[in-house]
Amino acid sequence: MNISRIYRKRIIPKDLIPLDDDIIVAQDEETLITKWKTLNPKTAFSHGCSCFFLKEGIKVSKVYRSDGSVLRWYCDIVDFSYDPGEGSMTYTDLLADVIIDSQGLVKVVDLDELAEAMEHDWITKEQTIRCLQNLNRLLTLIYRDKFDRLQARLEGLGL
């Protein structure tokens, strides 16, 4: 798989945008690693890097403040689709997220959005099942002190 363009698809709010300013740093059959700046200016953070774990349905992002210090790790539960004709990957944010702050506090967020999407049929039953299964796998890694395995992909590249 050779990915040259990335799209982000959100369910809430509903949108699909090309991430043309993201820089693809590395890719293989299991991962895609990018560097990026925020789409909209933020006061808390300015840039980051992400590792898309293509088989696990997880996107792990290291988020930086404008001074270069790490603010947090942000993990999205996602679906991926690949368009070989365009060489593009679209990832769909399945709403459930895990935030790990600089002190190591773990917080699961946006489950209310997942419930709302299910209630309104904006997300399929299959997507919801994958979301919950992948969220459970991610939390299991975190609670067993194995999150460093996911962090290693970015940190190994000096990101």
DSSP per position, 49-67: EEEEETTTTEEEEEEE-TT
77: confidence class by pLDDT, cuts 50, 70, 90 = very high
Quick one: pLDDT at residue 40?
Answer: 75
* Predicted pLDDT of residue 35: 97
pTM: 0.94
Nearest Cα neighbor of 10 from 151, 114, 154 is: 114
Mean pLDDT of the chain: 94
Q: pLDDT for 15-50, tens place per residue?
A: 999 999 999 999 999 999 999 998 776 778 889 999
- For the segment 92-103, the average pLDDT, to the nearest whole number, is 96
Specify the pLDDT at position 46: 87
Distance CA 123, CA 99 (A): 22
- Using the predicted structure, report yes or no on whether residue 57 has a pLDDT greater than 90: yes
Domain extents in the chain: 5-155
CB 38 within 8 A of CB 53: no
* Side-chain-side CA neighbours of residue 83 (13 Å): 10
What average pLDDT score do residues 146-154 get?
95
CA distances from 109 to 50, 72, 76, 99, 113 (A): 19, 14, 10, 8, 9
What pLDDT does 1 receive?
A: 75
Alpha helices in the chain (DSSP H): 111-119, 125-143, 148-155
Give the lowest-confidence range in 10-14, 42-46, 75-79, 136-140.
42-46
Q: Domain 5-155 sits in which CATH superfamily?
A: FomD-like (2.40.380.10)
Q: Average of pLDDT values for 112-117? A: 97
With cut-offs at 50, 70 and 90, classify the pLDDT of residue 155: very high
